[in-house]
Chain A
Amino acid sequence: MTMKAGTNLEKVLESGAFAVTAEAGPAKGAVTSVIERKGEMLKPCCDAVNVTDNQSAVVRMSSWSSCVLLKRLGLDPVMQIVVRDRNRLAIQSDVLGAVAMGIQNILCLSGDHQAIGNHPDAKGVYDIDSIQLIQMLKGMRDEKKFQCGEEISGEVPIFIGAAANPFAAPFEYRVLRLAKKVKAGADFIQTQAIFDVAKFAKWMEMVRDRGLDKQTHILAGLVPIKSVGMARYMKDYVSGVYVPDEVVTRLEGAKNAKEEGIKICLETIEQLKEIQGVHGIHIMAVAWEEMVPHIVEQAKLLPRPVV
């Protein structure tokens, strides 16, 4: 079968294996060791590693350059692009540069609004939205054309990703929004962190009813919780994340919150494996990347397939 980009992530997903990806936040500085340490840790247990693009609207090393550092270590990076900071010219230029450096998985996002980050006085760009971004990348790859319609010289082989939040309101609209992203050209989807499996399962049912799981690869998102404080913080302050009261209560009642957090994560993975149409998991261990190898091992998802 012909590959769109031929990245490790694409090959694993196309092979039908249950994929494992993880997120790595880049350094809040110019040191290479931060992302490299995370890369070394995640390499044996992940098919690809995502690098965030100034997540929470807080400045960090660019996703682009951090991906280059991971690529040098032999990982398959997923570059995130948010439409908050760059217009259509800058994004297309960065995409060409990324592909030239061997970064071919690109995740298209709106991005957290600058007002909630560490530069609230910044001017947001939002020239295009995340769906227009997906469509633009598809045009670059499939038609070899820039957004303006001009020809691109040579190929732009990219594997296009997008995000989905099955828990945000309006619930019924979220499946339509996924359908729109698939229509625009999303090859894979990463969902928001799942704590309410029943609600996610209901969403997946709606996804299957539209046949969307056959047109794109859905990776279910996970955030291992480190403490009761973290659970409460995510519940109250992290936009887009929904932590049910039961999860908070369970952590409060546990002797060791860290162990309980991992246990919840592993139980969730087991339940997700059973949901038809879920093609893998995406672990977002915020400032807790060292737990990912343990989680993947305990979830019996090792060794990772060689494709």
Chain B
Amino acid sequence: MNAQVPKPFEEIVGYLEGKKKIVLMGCGGCATVFHTGGIKEVNEMAEKLAKQGKEITGKIGLPFAVFACYLPMSSMLLNEHKKEIQECDAILMQSCGDGAQAVRRYLEEEMGIVKPLYPANNALGFSSGGPTSFKEECQACGECELGKTFGICPFVQCPKGLLNGPCGGTTADGKCEVDPTRDCAWAMIYRRAEELSQVDKLLEIVAPHQWSKAVRPRRLEVEPIDLMEELKGTKRVIEQLGV
């Protein structure tokens, strides 16, 4: 998921200075999980902005699992709210930067609407876990090295991103020199190698990483999925699990 936190309200008010009619849009994905843009947060934002004298002309709350960044889903709602969007002075996106930019792009390229669009959140990037604690574990480098590092990514867990073992700064109790409250990434990797009886694998030299795979911006073309069929499948699995 893309972890995120809300921006300070004053910053948002600053963006909206001189703008009267505001359309709010949230996201039913990560922003719902992180309480930064679920339907509840969109309603709360509407109330707070109304107190600032703003006229909230549109509230586009996305139900859970409807992603702002996934246009086959979010575009349905954008088209539904076309009139409010056309008439507003600004759009406030309660999503990550991906959702915000996907919406901006769709409005411009597919709907021919050019409006000021502002972010309400600061995205922190990939993270995993939940429902309460989340940890950053993958940086989407484009060339996964987990197969050589016992399933723990040293690019994320080690501040130096060392691929071939720990630096000399590990403390005697296996903590990181940069943040002694954290375990050394390689102490964790070594522990797993021991548990899997594969310590000798650590003798293999991992070649320099292909950073060319991370040159931005990256683009990808894929075959579209059948959205309705996939959703039916999800429903079926949940029912089978008896949740």
Contacts and interface: CB of A to CB of B under 8 A. Distances in A.
Interface of A: 83-84, 88, 110-113, 115-116, 124, 126-132, 135-136, 147, 163-165, 167-170, 173, 176-177, 179-180, 183-184, 192, 239-240, 242
A173 to B, nearest CB: 5
Interface of B: 159-174, 177-178, 184, 186-187, 190-191, 199, 202-203, 205-209, 211
A126 B167 CA distance: 12
20 contacts: A88-B208, A110-B160, A113-B160, A124-B159, A129-B165, A130-B164, A131-B164, A132-B207, A132-B208, A135-B205, A164-B168, A167-B172, A168-B168, A168-B171, A169-B172, A170-B187, A170-B190, A176-B203, A180-B203, A192-B168
B202 A173 contact: yes
Given A179-B203, A180-B205, A168 B169 contact: yes
A147 B208 contact: yes
Chain B CB within 10 A, most for which of A83, A131, A136: A131
Contacts of B191: 170
A165 B184 CA distance: 15
Given A132-B164, A165-B168, A180-B165, 7 more contacts: A127-B208, A129-B165, A135-B205, A163-B168, A169-B184, A239-B171, A240-B169
A126 B169 contact: no
A160 to B, nearest CB: 14
A110 B172 contact: no
Contacts of A165: 168, 170
Identify which of A88, A129, A239 gathers the most chain B CB atoms within 10 Å of its CB.
Answer: A129
Contacts of A129: 160-165
Contacts of B207: 132
Contact of B177 (A83, A113, A167): A113
A111 to B, nearest CB: 8
